[in-house]
Amino acid sequence: MKARRNAAANKQNKSAFSSLLMSENQNHSVNFAEAGSVEMEMGSVGSLQFDLGTIEAATKNFFVENKIGEGGFGPVYKGVLVNGVEVAVKRLSKSSGQGSQEFVNEVILMAKLQHRNLVRLLGFCLDADEKLLIYEYVSHKSLDYFLFDPNRHGHLDWPRRYKIIGGVTRGMVYLHEDSRLRIIHRDLKASNILLDLDMNAKISDFGLARIVGADQIQANTKRIVGTYGYMSPEYALHGHFSVKSDVFAFGVVVLEIIMGKKILTSYKPNFTAWRKWIEGTAMELLDPTLVETCCKDEVMRCINIGLLCVQEDVDARPYMANVLNLLNNHSIILPSPTTPPHYLPKTPVLSSHTSVSRSTDESFITEIYPR
């Protein structure tokens, strides 16, 4: 009897996701020309379906004490499945600016991607008004949880931070070059980098990611999404995004890891870092808690790489594969960075630190504020 109920729930779940997938395909919201046909997509996600009852039991009916985070998608809950596996459940908020497109996008992408430096999707649930994404539980929360809290960032000594930079680099190389799809993340930031028990970095939140052609490295959009401070100027101003947009965001993350400070709503921290670089005082950027544990050569190399990544000139920024080579091969002499951008278009305040809002021009933007 229970098996029949589960089969019926899975069939209904599959039908609901199929309808949603067809709707998004007709609206051209998801790039199935690259991702594959609707039928192929259903085949790739068919084994990832959970019924709502299973997730309600795992999270104790979304009990408030099980809530472990809040993002643009909505609240995130810790749960334990009947087999003992710990999971993180992202629950789409009805008031969220994100919706069906981001849900479909994340399910399809994460069903195809597997890498030790990407968070792993275990499944999804689509039932009535509920849209849920079920991920592996990553025990140490996100990078920003440690990095920007003065009571916690002491847990991240230099060897751990250097390891995190390397992990994020490898994850981004996989997305851009080594997976069977070419993925532009479009919202790489400290809060979207999760840390496991061994402080291994895992990139998360692919709701805003885009699939591009195997030989394509850039595209245009009128729908600007992402987070101010991490967004490259050509994207924020003109809607031009590319793998180099992700490289820019990566550079910001690297500088944040070194400085132990949150980026603000302008590019001033990048500009400050560059000024100290040309003045020969770049080590002054270093988080004071790292003085005892840092390797100066590694720190200076990472500052150099970070500044190369946030250059205003798109062509001057390295590809992520080059970044990985520069990190691993200290015999390579790094080029000197040029001036990074230090401006942003004038825009109204759209949202708080953790939310994503819809503006009148259909853009999704997250504003970052210091804590």
Instruction: pLDDT tens for the chain, 371 residues: list them.
Output: 544 555 555 555 555 555 555 554 444 444 443 444 444 454 556 668 899 999 999 999 999 999 988 876 788 999 999 999 999 999 987 765 556 677 777 888 888 888 999 999 999 998 877 889 999 999 888 999 999 988 887 889 999 999 999 999 999 999 999 987 889 999 999 999 999 999 999 999 887 888 876 555 555 555 667 787 898 888 888 888 889 999 999 999 999 999 998 876 445 556 788 889 999 999 999 999 999 999 999 999 999 999 999 999 999 999 999 999 999 999 999 999 987 775 444 443 333 333 333 332 333 444 433 33
Verdict on whether the full-model pTM lies above 0.75: yes
Token pair 């999804």: residue: 124
187 is catalytic: yes
At residue 118, φ and ψ (nearest 5 deg) are -120, 140
Cβ burial of 270 (10 Å; 0-12, 13-18, 19+) is: buried
Domain locations along the chain:
2-136, 143-366
User: Domain 2-136 belongs to what architecture?
Assistant: 2-Layer Sandwich (3.30)
Q: What is the residue whose two structure tokens read 């140490």?
A: 140
Q: Which CATH superfamily is domain 143-366 in?
A: Transferase(Phosphotransferase) domain 1 (1.10.510.10)
> Taking CA 329 as the corner, what is the angle to CA 324 and CA 330, rounded to the nearest 5 degrees?
120
- Kind and range of the H or E run holding 271: helix 268-279
Contacts 24+ apart (CB under 8 A), 281-289: 285/255, 285/258, 285/259, 286/258, 286/259, 287/153, 287/258, 287/259, 287/260, 287/261, 289/153, 289/154, 289/157, 289/260
Q: Count the neighbouring beta carbons within 10 Å of the beta carbon of residue 341.
A: 19
Determine how many CB atoms are found less than 10 A away from the CB of residue 279. 9
Output the DSSP codes for 19-55: HHHHHHHHTT-S-HHHH--HHHHHHHHGGGB--HHHH
Which of 187, 205, 246, 287 is catalytic? The answer is 187
Could you tell me which of 264, 258, 317 has the C-alpha nearest to residue 290? 258
Same CATH topology for 2-136 and 143-366: the answer is no
Written as six digits, the tokens of 371 are 């804590």
